[in-house]
A and B are shown apart, each in its own frame.
Chain A
């Protein structure tokens, strides 16, 4: 018998904390002194993935910067539910911008801090997928091009949820939204449209691009902390399920994010200086159907009759991701 190294069971590194793990190896979220950047009492819907993702990301950024941090926030759900005047849920310095100019405002704040000799204070900009991939896209591309010292975080819930679930450039094919109804021969959002912003960011040649989900906290926090250790333009794209817009159970928010990653539909990777340096491997591969069937925005793929060709098309997209990023280790064979 070969000696077995003692590792951290029962929950290894998947749960938020672990009483058997040394404190520095636990997540920021497991720390009772975490910043709680987004405080209780905000008005997000039950089970909001964006509220969760924003607290995860900003609490990690606060730890990474020792609290010397300012957050710029685009118009959108995150801004609306956190700051109905005069209340605020934010426990970090926070600025609200227009829907489309967040990257420009963040660039300006970074420039102002530099001019004032306060470059120790770091800038994080955050927006939903609409504010990032559509309305704010021009400003964001400029911010990337100039390599301004900003970490831009997109909380991607795959549609304009705040204004009533309209399609965005991040809405997946076949999904029903208020503007892509589940009618006609090709119901829902058409295939072949939309923007893959992490890859667009990568094409700008900026120093750090990564994706993450609210289902893997260790991974998300590590990426924020790594990003905050660097300077220049950085981009983090976080998948945040939306029970309202996706038509899912509020309790399934994390489960859906996990299934998106485990099916391959949402590839989780990290790129430094233009090169993909690591991918989060799929642990238990699942068919896309497991992910789709929990969401009413895809209900027309199953009722009144199954649309096998559409499900197969979505599966093909997931398989493409798996191949492109190497999400399944080739040596992954049952031993």
Chain B
């Protein structure tokens, strides 16, 4: 074509000009570890299941959740949610109510009758799981999902361990427990209840099990020497909770003291209130600050009329009179003051901690027990090959969530062991810290709260205290998630690039790339605006290697 007058060249595109050559730093998409996931003892991918929940796809959210934890309706009630303590949103307004959304998903799954996917194929390997608390049940689940045959043995008449015989029904209604257990058993688990195993090694041998997971928990209440008269009624908190759970509550009178400051002490005191005790008094030798009980548990107990005596020890119990001694703290040390006082009491409940009954591993060669706990390696394996342990029987924090996490980890290790492989833990991504977020982009949104049972009804019934979120405010709560460190497709990088050097990928391309966007490094000048304006800190700016 003849160019018009005075124009000597055809018009060309500026794409001929590869401005990427100017760049000294390049943006790269990254995935960081969100603090909630980092803090979850059960190793849940919380952010990922919230991501599905945000879109209203509750089934995808639930399936993502149960990949790591088969007990969401239970955990949504009894977990002490360290995820929320770690949540970055707390620095903005309040932490995301992860626990409440987890419970919503768990309840929703029960209501809809969602089931676990059956194992793809049977491996023919057999695993014995001893103990059916949160750890044993979770291990059974993870092992079944991998196609191993599981025999679950518990000495109690019913499954559930501490979830059934320890945690009071006002915190965990038993129909929820039954539903979630049943769903695991439906995967095809052989269950033996009411049977106590005395010699684990012999049992493994006799049953020809390829591996064993030991999760009998800590079910013996610790005692202490308290001089007491013949008539003095002393029992331990676990027996109390067990009897109440079995429908046979002991008659303890109207004035009962609880000795100890852990969650079990709170459970016992709150249970006593419901059994009709007018005076349920917690006696603890330190202050609320040092209490091992969760702050919420203490607050609930006090709200329900439980009284507390801080910096106090029990000296003796005789003739309906409890003799208490005031103490003071020097650091962590408790120092007696010689100041005594009396407290009228009909009974004393001891909640001084729990020990495991480990007599079943006494004869198991290689299984080491130290300070009342079974020693395990990084793969949750004891010194005896093929015998793994987790939950309250191993050293560490004793919560249901930790127990679930142990089970997941041990099941992976058992699976690797049965395949003759060693477990290679996946690399951990660096943490998605608050300072990496651009919080401008997040809408102000108040935390949604769960309704609570009125106080009067809490004193007379074992009805559940904390109610559920509805679907609308559960969805709202899920959408409060900041998606720390992981792209949630806000299109900011695609929009804010002055050089138009970010491509938004179509479905097929993003599936292939595992990302929704791609940098065009031929033109990206490395200005870093996309990094600065990424709300969730999922882009790094790294120096170019020259």
Bound together: yes
Could you tell me which A residues sit within 8 Å of B by CB distance?
A: 1, 3-4, 6-20, 26-27, 29-30, 32, 36, 38-44, 46-49, 51-52, 55, 82, 84-89, 217, 243, 249-255, 258, 284
A32→B502 CA distance, assembly (Å): 10
Measured between beta carbons, the chain B residues less than 8 angstroms from A249 are: 528
A10→B491 CA distance, assembly (Å): 13
A30 near B14 with CB under 8 A, answer no
A10 near B525 with CB under 8 A, answer no
What does DSSP make chain A's interface, helix, strand, loop or mixed?
A: loop
8 Å CB contact of A42 from B445, B499, B506, B533: B499
B19 near A43 with CB under 8 A, answer yes
B15 near A41 with CB under 8 A, answer yes
A85 near B440 with CB under 8 A, answer no
User: A36, A41, A254, A255 — which one has the most chain B CB atoms within 10 A of its CB?
Assistant: A41
- Cβ contacts B6-22/A at 8 Å (1 or 0 each): 00011111111111001
B17 near A43 with CB under 8 A, answer yes
A29 near B495 with CB under 8 A, answer yes
B63: Cβ under 8 A from any A Cβ? no
B441 near A252 with CB under 8 A, answer no
Measured between beta carbons, the chain B residues less than 8 angstroms from A55 are: 498, 500
Give how many A-B residue pairs fall within 8 Å (CB-CB).
181
Least distance between B445 CB and chain A CB atoms (Å): 5
8 Å CB contact of A19 from B488, B522, B532: B488
B494: Cβ under 8 A from any A Cβ? yes
Question: Given A6-B475, A46-B527, 8 other A-B contacts at CB below 8 A?
Answer: A4-B448, A11-B490, A13-B443, A15-B492, A39-B500, A41-B15, A41-B523, A251-B529
Closest residue of chain B to A38 (Cβ to Cβ) is B500
Stretch in B175-183, B234-242, B256-264, B477-485 touching the partner: B477-485
A8 near B490 with CB under 8 A, answer no
A253 near B498 with CB under 8 A, answer yes
A44 near B498 with CB under 8 A, answer yes
8 Å CB contact of B472 from A4, A48, A89, A251: A4
B362: Cβ under 8 A from any A Cβ? no
Measured between beta carbons, the chain A residues less than 8 angstroms from B448 are: 4
Closest residue of chain B to A91 (Cβ to Cβ) is B13
B473: Cβ under 8 A from any A Cβ? yes
User: A32, A43, A82, A86 — which one has the most chain B CB atoms within 10 A of its CB?
Assistant: A86
Measured between beta carbons, the chain B residues less than 8 angstroms from A255 are: 532-533
8 Å CB contact of B526 from A14, A46, A87: A46
A87 near B443 with CB under 8 A, answer no
A17 near B472 with CB under 8 A, answer no
21 A-B residue pairs with CB within 8 Å: A10-B442, A10-B535, A11-B442, A12-B441, A12-B442, A12-B443, A15-B492, A16-B495, A17-B492, A19-B490, A30-B494, A40-B15, A47-B498, A47-B528, A51-B499, A55-B500, A82-B14, A86-B10, A87-B12, A87-B13, A253-B529
Least distance between A86 CB and chain B CB atoms (Å): 4
A86 near B443 with CB under 8 A, answer no
- Residues 1-47 of B contacting A (Cβ, < 8 Å): 9-19, 22
A251→B10 CA distance, assembly (Å): 35
A15 near B15 with CB under 8 A, answer no
A41 near B13 with CB under 8 A, answer yes
B529 near A89 with CB under 8 A, answer no
Task: Give 6 closest A-B pairs by Cβ, nearest first.
Answer: A17-B491, A16-B495, A12-B443, A251-B528, A9-B479, A41-B14
B373: Cβ under 8 A from any A Cβ? no
A3 near B472 with CB under 8 A, answer yes
A253→B527 CA distance, assembly (Å): 9
Q: Contacts A10-B483, A11-B443 given: A251-B531 contact, CB under 8 Å? A: yes
B451: Cβ under 8 A from any A Cβ? yes
Closest residue of chain A to B516 (Cβ to Cβ) is A19
A16→B11 CA distance, assembly (Å): 32
Number of B residues, CB within 8 Å of A: 59
User: A1, A47, A88, A249 — which one has the most chain B CB atoms within 10 A of its CB?
Assistant: A47
Measured between beta carbons, the chain A residues less than 8 angstroms from B54 are: 9-10, 20
A57→B497 CA distance, assembly (Å): 14
A300→B481 CA distance, assembly (Å): 42
Measured between beta carbons, the chain A residues less than 8 angstroms from B15 are: 39-41
B209: Cβ under 8 A from any A Cβ? no
B451 near A1 with CB under 8 A, answer yes
B523 near A9 with CB under 8 A, answer no
Measured between beta carbons, the chain A residues less than 8 angstroms from B19 are: 40-43
Measured between beta carbons, the chain B residues less than 8 angstroms from A44 are: 498-499
User: B451, B498, B525, B535 — which one has the most chain A CB atoms within 10 A of its CB?
Assistant: B498
Measured between beta carbons, the chain A residues less than 8 angstroms from B498 are: 44, 47-49, 51-52, 55, 253
A17→B492 CA distance, assembly (Å): 7
Could you tell me which B residues sit within 8 Å of A by CB distance?
A: 9-19, 22, 54-55, 440-443, 445, 448-449, 451, 472-473, 475-476, 479-483, 488-492, 494-501, 504, 506, 520, 522-523, 525-529, 531-533, 535, 541
Measured between beta carbons, the chain A residues less than 8 angstroms from B489 are: 17-19
Measured between beta carbons, the chain B residues less than 8 angstroms from A217 are: 495
Measured between beta carbons, the chain A residues less than 8 angstroms from B16 are: 41, 87
Measured between beta carbons, the chain A residues less than 8 angstroms from B522 are: 40
A252→B481 CA distance, assembly (Å): 25
A254 near B533 with CB under 8 A, answer yes
B14 near A15 with CB under 8 A, answer no
8 Å CB contact of B443 from A10, A17, A27, A243: A10
B13 near A10 with CB under 8 A, answer no
Least distance between A101 CB and chain B CB atoms (Å): 20
8 Å CB contact of B22 from A1, A46, A51: A46
Measured between beta carbons, the chain B residues less than 8 angstroms from A40 are: 14-15, 19, 499-501, 520, 522-523
Least distance between A31 CB and chain B CB atoms (Å): 9
A30 near B495 with CB under 8 A, answer yes
B18 near A41 with CB under 8 A, answer yes
A6 near B476 with CB under 8 A, answer yes
User: B16, B473, B481, B491 — which one has the most chain A CB atoms within 10 A of its CB?
Assistant: B491
Measured between beta carbons, the chain B residues less than 8 angstroms from A3 are: 472
A29→B443 CA distance, assembly (Å): 20
User: A15, A32, A252 — which one has the most chain B CB atoms within 10 A of its CB?
Assistant: A15
8 Å CB contact of A250 from B13, B491, B495, B529: B529
A10 near B482 with CB under 8 A, answer yes
Q: Contacts A6-B472, A41-B14, A251-B528 given: A11-B500 contact, CB under 8 Å? A: no
A15 near B472 with CB under 8 A, answer no
User: B475, B496, B528 — which one has the most chain A CB atoms within 10 A of its CB?
Assistant: B496
A3→B490 CA distance, assembly (Å): 27
Measured between beta carbons, the chain A residues less than 8 angstroms from B525 are: 46-47
Measured between beta carbons, the chain B residues less than 8 angstroms from A243 are: 527
Measured between beta carbons, the chain B residues less than 8 angstroms from A49 are: 498
Q: Contacts A30-B495, A41-B14 given: A8-B532 contact, CB under 8 Å? A: no
Measured between beta carbons, the chain B residues less than 8 angstroms from A8 are: 443, 479
B491 near A39 with CB under 8 A, answer no
Least distance between A282 CB and chain B CB atoms (Å): 13
Closest residue of chain A to B520 (Cβ to Cβ) is A40
A84→B17 CA distance, assembly (Å): 10
B476 near A250 with CB under 8 A, answer no
A254→B13 CA distance, assembly (Å): 27
A41→B18 CA distance, assembly (Å): 6
8 Å CB contact of A52 from B13, B496, B506: B496
Least distance between A51 CB and chain B CB atoms (Å): 4
Least distance between B449 CB and chain A CB atoms (Å): 8
Measured between beta carbons, the chain A residues less than 8 angstroms from B472 are: 3-4, 6
8 Å CB contact of A18 from B18, B491, B500, B532: B491
A152→B448 CA distance, assembly (Å): 47
